[in-house]
Structure 1
């Protein structure tokens, strides 16, 4: 009962069976109207939020409605029975297991399609659709921790910057890893010289490095090749947190930032990558892509098998999480189609163009706010915190930041696909009035 894209329409009878034999249907009850009445205040609140979504500027969420074709795809999946009874993507989507009510075929093909986009060797990528970007980061860090411990007999130290996503702090604590916080350059990217010094101070420990491709607040990009140049000659694992930027960079002139295989000598530039589905893509539920090479996964699996008895599901699952959502991989499969990739390219161009427009206008008319953008690759503009009224009206994220030897409150705008130039003009006008 693996629900593949080729045979899922054959399950339409299952949906009919569920509708006919449900306890509600058998009891002759129609509680739906009552349910709507109970939740009507909440529905009104949701409608208001939907109308206001164009003014949400502070967080990396694409609030555009997905295209109509996505909802038609959802209907097809629903008609086939998906999400009407208990499917479960437990286990490795690349291996046959005993529990066959899953969407592993969709998931496997989804990972292979995105693996090509991120420059993994063809048919030599492993991964799955996770619950979130944090879940993807967890798997990258866990695989790195496991492999380095196995290779050296010593737990690694984990290296990241203060500008990295806060999930890295949480995960390093969960996995009992000693942290080494690396300094940053002025733009928020990892200071490669400081990394070198801190690696030299910890030569007895393998290095698990988390590089950020698009830091949370400033939108800086850590230099993958710069980091790797300082790791030569030692045991290391390099994981990329590319939550937002990983969605759109492949559709820009900066696509090489995320290539897993180096063009010159075909060597790997990093070991694993995490990308969020609900940020740039606009998938309407938290989810994440996690990808690594087949070679890395097979080495990890050999160690993972020592702590996992495969008898129950007839395979070593490869994932920390056991039961996994079957609906999300089948739905997100839609975003890997040729038409969707074309739309994503258009969205990426619009985002970066509008971010450039916002930055230029602020430099021209609101220079006192000291607006900054880390470069043409980033959709983020950060500046001195405006009034609380504007922060609330536009749902701006605010953080304290050290700048010119002073701690100052800053806000930022993340120009996502739902943010139009008209909205930015209104925002600029409000800023000029404060």
Structure 2
């Protein structure tokens, strides 16, 4: 039994997190979801140990639901029938490192290429894996510079290329084109190519856009990762990574202890996030995902227009939920948790309200009047 001061600390932490959730705009994390029917699972132990598609002696898991989530995204990402494998990760960083891991096992002598707008997890991954790498310039909208990719790759045209394509860059939601990436590398004489698509934010809705960005398996991706908490919504970080089975077989190890094989990075994995993601996609379906995206995009357009009307130079990429504007002052950055590099941005994810947007715009533009 906790003492009263400990219970008070929990109450204070809840109040603090609740307040922070109410003014949380700078990072993609869906809000105001309702998973009350799943609370009962928190009274049970759960571990999605090993390969979710293989039976084993360890049965306290949600593998069946995990496999359904993988199958859903395999269809959404136009994966070849029965030729794709995946698992649910603890977030986009694990998915990116897993894609790079598969690429390194396929091409140990490869050079990895990614743009300067790429998420920091990729630079972490290449260091962990000992992959030689080159950072490529970005265009002003955050998309990779295909000309600079060609020039950079030409210097190592005799070696395989591993490219991380951003399907929604961190700050500007710029989207790289996997078809163009492959064409550029072929043109400079590289035929051994592995493309990993980092679709952390955009993965659930990118296939539904018009025009659809070129990023999926039919467009030449070898592996794809997305985050579950950013658009679909979850109380904790989670993600999905998918790859061609042939790539995964190179890292497969049979583990007698669990009576199965393990093809994942983390081994022991969260058994609850697959249930949450299954619940989300079963509740929403394709139509629901599309509907919520359009609601978010309408609010992102409203935000951009209102900021511009008040003299703030704001913009967003086509079909983007990320609104980019000049760096904000520290007090605004701190209160609204606004991500800032050479620019600031906010991300309109599901659960973001017009009231929050209006309060942010008022706070940002009322100073100095």
Does TM, scored on the shorter chain, surpass 0.5? yes
* Match 1:182 to one of 132, 136, 140: 136
**Deviation by residue 1:192-225 (Cα, 9 ceiling, x = unmatched):** 1111111111023211110111110111111221
1:259-302 CA deviation, whole Å, 9 max, x = no partner?
A: 3224xxxxxx20101100111111111111011123433xxx1x
Q: Give 3-state SS (helix, strand or coil) of 1:58's partner.
A: coil
The count of residues paired between Structure 1 and Structure 2 equals 364
Which moves more between the two structures, 318-327 or 251-260? 251-260
Change in 2 beyond 3 A, CA 1:420/1:200: same
- Deviations along 1:337-369, one digit per CA (max 9) or x if unpaired, are 153544332221111111111112222321xx4
* Matched position secondary structure for 1:230: helix
The equivalent position to 1:143 in structure 2, one of 72, 84, 102, is 102
CA RMSD in angstroms, aligned pairs only:
2.1
Asked if 2 retains the 8 angstrom alpha-carbon contact of 1:252 and 1:348, the reply is no
Does 1:393 pair with 2:353? no
In 2, Cα distance between equivalents of 1:230 and 1:54: 45
Q: TM-score, normalised by structure 1?
A: 0.78
SS in 2 for 1:211: strand
Alignment pair present for 1:336 and 2:281: yes
Paired position in structure 2 for 1:113: 72
Instruction: With a CA cutoff of 8 Å and minimum separation of 6, indicate the structure with the bigger relative contact order.
Output: 2
CA distance in 2, matches of 1:206, 1:318: 24
Structure 1: give runs of 5+ residues left out of the alignment.
1-30, 150-154, 263-268, 402-409
Distance 1:288 1:310 in 2: 24
Counterpart residue number, 1:38: 6
State the SS of the aligned residue for 2:251.
helix
| Aligned residue among 332, 354, 362 for 1:421 | 354
Structural mapping, 1:17-32, within 5 Å: 31=1
Q: Equivalent of 1:201, from 155, 158, 161?
A: 155
Cα offset, 1:244, TM superposition: 0.7
Return the alpha-carbon distance in structure 1 between the equivalents of residues 325 and 292 of structure 2. 24
Does the Cα contact within 8 Å between 1:210 and 1:240 map onto a contact in 2? Answer: yes
- For 2:162, what is the secondary structure of its paired residue? strand
CA offset at residue 428 of structure 1?
1.9
Larger radius of gyration: 1
Q: 2:306 aligns with which of 337, 361, 377?
A: 361
Asked if 1 retains the 8 angstrom alpha-carbon contact of 2:102 and 2:251, the reply is: no
SS in 1 for 2:261: coil
Q: Which residue of 2 aligns with 1:322?
A: 267
Change (3 A) 1:117 1:392: same
**Equivalent residue in structure 2 for 1:246, among 200, 203, 209:** 203
Matched, 1:220 2:169: no
Contact 1:207–1:237 (Cα < 8 Å) also in 2: yes
1:310 Cα offset (Å)? 3.6
User: 1:318 and 1:189 mapped to 2: Cα distance?
Assistant: 32
Task: Give the Cα separation in 1 of the matches to 2:28 and 2:354.
Answer: 17
Q: In the alignment, is the contact (CA less than 8 A) between 1:251 and 1:348 conserved in 2?
A: no
List gaps (5 residues or longer) in structure 2: none
1:17 matched residue in structure 2 = none
Note the C-alpha offset of 1:125: 2.2
